[in-house]
Each structure stands twice: as C-alpha cells, then as structure tokens.
Structure 1
C-alpha cells in the first residue's frame, strides 16, 4: 500500500477537493478512475504499455488531461 498512499498524497496535493478511495484489489490490481472512467490500470495496461505502477507525478498529469 505504500505506492497507493504516495499516489493518494500526490492527488490530494494537486487537487485539494479530491475524494480518494483506496479499495483493496486482487493480484496487484491498481486502477485510477475519474467519474467512473479508468485512466490508469496496472493489470489492464490502460495509460501504460506495460504492467507497472505509475511513476511519481504521472497520475496527476493524467488527471489534469481527464478533467
């Protein structure tokens, strides 16, 4: 969960009114959704070309594009 907490901190720093929910998944699942639309998925390779966690700042960049 440390990586998820890092991403949560980054989101809250960039968007003070953001509501972030961490929901435990299975098999190393790590998804980021905005209004029900997935903008990053580690396992399904949405927003990435390989199965990986996001780099620092990457999710904030994707969120800005999505909003």
Structure 2
C-alpha cells in the first residue's frame, strides 16, 4: 500500500456524499397547514381556505389534510 491516505480520503468523501443525499425529508403539508392556520387566526379567511385546499389537493393522505377539511367546513 503506497498511498493509504488516498483510500481514507476517498472513503471519507464517499461517506459525506452519501449522507448528504439521505437527509432530505419528504414533504407532508405541514407548511401549508401552519400558514393557513396563521391566516385564519388573523381573520384572512379566503387565503386560509386557499392554503387549506392546496394542502388537501397536494397531500391528501397527510395527517393535516383531515384537519384542513374540518377547518374549511
């Protein structure tokens, strides 16, 4: 082994690249829900309804979708 540091550097670089790819979370609609709830509490009802509807349309199986439907209704 003439260059053991080459293997160490290459291994470290691969670990960094692989771990960077694995940290992304899947969206779940929480951002729409939080924004819509803030709008609703500030008496901006039409924008709140629009954001709740976006949540329902884009993330129908999100845990926030049922709450959004109830808040619209």
TM-score by length of 1: 0.28
TM-score by length of 2: 0.26
Structure with bigger strand share is 1
Structure with bigger helix share is 2
